[in-house]
Chain A
Amino acid sequence: MAIPKGTIVEPGSSKKNKTGSWRTERPVFKHDTCTDCRICVLICPDGIIFGSDHVYDADFDYCKGCGMCATECPVDDIDMVPEVK
Chain B
Amino acid sequence: MAEQAVKKKKKTKPPVTESLLAPGHRACAGCGEALGAKLVMDAAGPNTYVTTCTGCLEVFSTPYPESAWKMPWIHSLFENSSAVAAGIEAALIAQGRDKDVNIIAQGGDGGTADIGIGCLSGMLERGHNILYVCYDNEAYMNTGVQRSGLTPFDARTSTTPVGKRSMGNQTNKKNLPEIAAAHGIPYSATATVGYPNDVIRKVQKALKIKGPKFLQIHVPCPLGWIHPTDQTIEVAKLAVLTGLIPIFEMEDGKLTRVRKIGKNRKPVEEYLKAQGRFRHLFKGTPEAEAELEKVRQIAEANIEKYGLA
**Which B residues touch A46, using CB under 8 A?**
23, 25, 27, 34, 38
> Of B23, B28, B193, which is within 8 A of A47 by CB?
B23
Q: Is B35 an interface residue (CB 8 A)?
A: yes
B12 touches A53 (CB 8 A): yes
A71 touches B67 (CB 8 A): no
> Interface digits, A55-85 against B, CB 8 Å rule (1 contact, 0 not)?
0100101101111101110000000100000
Q: Is B30 an interface residue (CB 8 A)?
A: yes
B32 touches A17 (CB 8 A): no
- Asked whether A36 and B11 contact (CB < 8 A) given A12-B22, A64-B29, the answer is yes
**Which B residues touch A1, using CB under 8 A?**
65
**Which B residues touch A65, using CB under 8 A?**
29, 229
Q: Is A42 an interface residue (CB 8 A)?
A: yes
Chain A residues with a Cβ closer than 8 Å to the other chain, count: 45
B230 touches A18 (CB 8 A): no
Q: Is B14 an interface residue (CB 8 A)?
A: yes
Interface residues in B38-74 by Cβ distance below 8 A to A read 38-39, 61-71
**Which A residues touch B39, using CB under 8 A?**
42
> Interface digits, B208-251 against A, CB 8 Å rule (1 contact, 0 not)?
00000000000000100000111111100000000000000000
**A7→B75 CA distance, assembly (Å):** 11
Closest residue on chain B to residue A37 by CB atoms: B13
A47 touches B21 (CB 8 A): yes
**A14→B228 CA distance, assembly (Å):** 25
A43 touches B23 (CB 8 A): no
**Which A residues touch B67, using CB under 8 A?**
9-14
> Interface digits, B1-36 against A, CB 8 Å rule (1 contact, 0 not)?
000000011011111101101111111111110110
- Residue pairs across A and B with Cβ atoms less than 8 A apart, 12 shown, are A7-B64, A9-B65, A14-B67, A14-B68, A19-B23, A22-B29, A36-B11, A43-B196, A47-B21, A54-B8, A62-B24, A68-B233
